[in-house]
Amino acid sequence: MKQRAYQQVDVFTDTAFLGNPLAVVLDGSGLTDAQMQTFAAWTQLSETTFVLPPTTEGATGGADYRVRIFTPGAELPFAGHPTLGTAHAWLKAGNTPRQAGVLIQECGVGLVTLKQLGERWAFAAPPLKRSDISAEDLAPVLAALGLDESEVIAAQNLNNGPHWLGLLVDSVDTVLALEPDHAALKKLGTKVGVAAKRQTPEGGLIRRANREARAFAPSTRIVNDPTDLEVRAFAAPVGIAEDPVTGSLNASLAQWLMADGHMPDHYSARQGTVLGRAGQVFLSKDAQGQVWVGGDVVGCIQGAVTL
């Protein structure tokens, strides 16, 4: 065991304690899989990451570092908030990317590119595999969520490393009212992301974001919420009943919803409302068709951990 540099950051927020926290061990060298998993279970955060030197193959591809990502119950090949949060911690620790304004992360799905876009960093959404889900397979998931089939606008199996069942439902009220049977979802082995478009009184998407509008209402609502999509993520199969803000899910939702015309090529999503968070994810598609997933990151804890 030795002292290892450690940070805890809050991701997808510009205000500490309103996003999704992440533990980052900046030197994971020499740790076994079991040691990493044990520490991730101990932190009880949705994800804990361990930074390592790139593999030979990764370095050849331009990787600045390698990261391994653990939930309290399992290792993930890719996850969005750990990608942004680890990049922030790696840079804050004094590291310099090979190319200014660009980071290349090596992880379980291969190489992931991050770019500095204006005030914040964004990662390139990994390639998405998606497919329809049969009514027979969908029915037990809807039952576990307490959803009626009539409330579902569209459904897709989404896989960009992690697998999610994505559901687009009829209203933000439907999303916020969900009280899932997490034990049933765990038994089904299904992680579910549920989303709904936010409407203005005139029926159009809200397209303008401003930070002053992000104060909490007395209820779970955000006053004059500037985001376009409300999202919740239920991940009981990996030990997380509800994730505060989920980059991988928002990435795959954006790729699906943009491609099928449910959402525009530039929008922002809110997640974590029911948990008392105010996570905000910025989604955009460039001229080449690449979807970018961006968000703010705030440092909260910096020190060392004995591992």
pLDDT in tens, 36-87: 999 999 999 999 999 999 999 999 999 999 999 999 989 999 999 999 999 9
What pLDDT score does 200 carry?
A: 63
Which letter does DSSP use for residue 53 in this model?
A: P
pLDDT at 80: 95
pTM above 0.85, yes or no: yes
pLDDT band at 210 (very low <50, low <70, confident <90, very high): very low
pLDDT above 80 for 302: yes
Is 242 assigned a catalytic role?
A: no
What pLDDT sits at residue 219?
38
| Angle, alpha carbons 205-208-212 (nearest 5°) | 125
CATH number of 129-286: 3.10.310.10
pLDDT in tens, 141-154: 999 999 999 999 99
Cβ contacts of 252 within 8 Å, gap of 6 or more: 125, 128, 130, 158, 159, 160, 164, 166, 193
Query: Which residues in the chain are classed under CATH 3.10.310.10?
Result: 3-125+295-306, 129-286
How do 240-243 and 65-70 pair as beta strands? Answer: unpaired
| pLDDT > 70 fraction of the chain, expressed in percent and rounded | 92
Among the options 47, 106, 230, 242, which is catalytic?
47
The whole-angstrom separation of Cα 124 and Cα 39 is 28
* pLDDT score, position 214: 31
At 190-203, the pLDDT tens digits run: 999 999 999 865 55
**Which one-letter DSSP state was computed for residue 92?**
H
Between CA 12 and CA 230 the distance in angstroms is: 14
Overall size of the chain counted in residues: 307
Tokens 């049969």 locate to 134
Residue 217 is predicted with a pLDDT of: 31
Indicate the SS3 state at residue 104: strand
What whole-number distance in Å separates Cα of residue 246 and Cα of residue 281?
9
Confidence of residue 222 (pLDDT cuts 50, 70, 90): low
| Mean predicted confidence (pLDDT) in 111-120 | 93
Rounded Cα distance between 90 and 297, Å, is 12
Region 20-26 average pLDDT = 98
Binned at pLDDT 50, 70 and 90, residue 224 comes out as confident
Per-residue burial over 148-181, b if 16 or more Cβ lie within 10 Å, else e, is eeebbeebbbbbbbbebbbbbbeebebbbebebe
Strand boundaries in the chain, DSSP class E: 3-11, 20-25, 48-52, 65-70, 75-76, 102-107, 110-117, 120-124, 129-131, 152-159, 163-169, 192-197, 229-235, 240-243, 266-271, 279-285, 291-295, 297-306
Instruction: Out of 3.20.20.80, 3.30.43.10, 3.40.50.300, 3.10.310.10, select the CATH number for domain 3-125+295-306.
Output: 3.10.310.10
* pLDDT surpassing 90 at residue 207: no
